[in-house]
Amino acid sequence: MTLRVAILISGGGSNMEALVRSMQGDHPARPVLVLSNVPGAGGLARARALGVRTATVDHRAFGGDRTAFEAELQRHLERARAHILCTAGFMRILTPGFVDRWAGRMLNIHPSLLPRYRGLDTHARAIAAGDAEAGCSVHLVTAELDAGPVLGQARVAIRPDDTPESLAARVLGHEHRLYPRVLREFSERLAREGAAGRP
């Protein structure tokens, strides 16, 4: 059976594009929906250009009611019959209720070598700490922010003249290779286990 992947974005969607482009040929999964919480996010046009269906659920329309916002996300995901959910530059914190529904099926990419630097400003924090290397991690999403089991990492040397911007750009190139590799491995395992029955 083909696994159906939905991708949540908030911005430019370069990781989304890398994931979508990777799901071809003998890949066990296919992209079925790109969902943004930001109307007009750059990644939406990018997804449409790649032939992937898109939808927007603007969190601001829910006036801080996160449960109602997430219920609407869930409605789109169920309509798309998604088995796997990938967050890719999705900048909202999801509640434990939503995360639990996707337990073991939701992946995220984070721009640090977890468990170091959960949250924001990861590259600036790595440089300020004098770290020799930075990187990115793909992990399963659990209720605690950026704390789920790590499925794969890529390491990048920090140069003496790096700024947070130059480091972010170099790490992003690695993200585009890491996330597709981990999604493929994850999908292959799920397909083998034949456990594709949700939501």
Selecting among 83, 110, 139, 176, the annotated active-site residue is 110
**180 sits near ligand GAR (criterion: CB under 6 A):** no
Could you give the CA distance from residue 173 to residue 123 in angstroms, rounded to a whole number? Answer: 14
Q: Number of helices (H) and strands (E), helices first, in the chain?
A: 6, 7
Residue 164 class from Cβ within 10 Å (0-12 exposed, 13-18 middle, 19+ buried)? middle
12, 104, 152, 173: residue in contact with ligand GAR (rule CB under 6 A): 12
**175 is a site residue for ligand GAR (CB under 6 A):** yes
Q: Crossing angle for the helix pair 42-49 and 14-22, nearest 10 degrees?
A: 20
83 in active site: no
Smallest distance, ligand GAR to C-beta of residue 197, A = 28
- Mode of pairing for the β-strands spanning 133-140 and 150-157: antiparallel
Asked if 172 touches ligand GAR (CB under 6 A), the answer is yes
The interface with ligand GAR within residues 64-123 (CB under 6 A) comprises 88-89, 109-111
Interacting residues toward ligand GAR by CB under 6 A: 9, 11-15, 43, 88-89, 109-111, 172, 175
Q: Which residues are catalytic?
A: 110
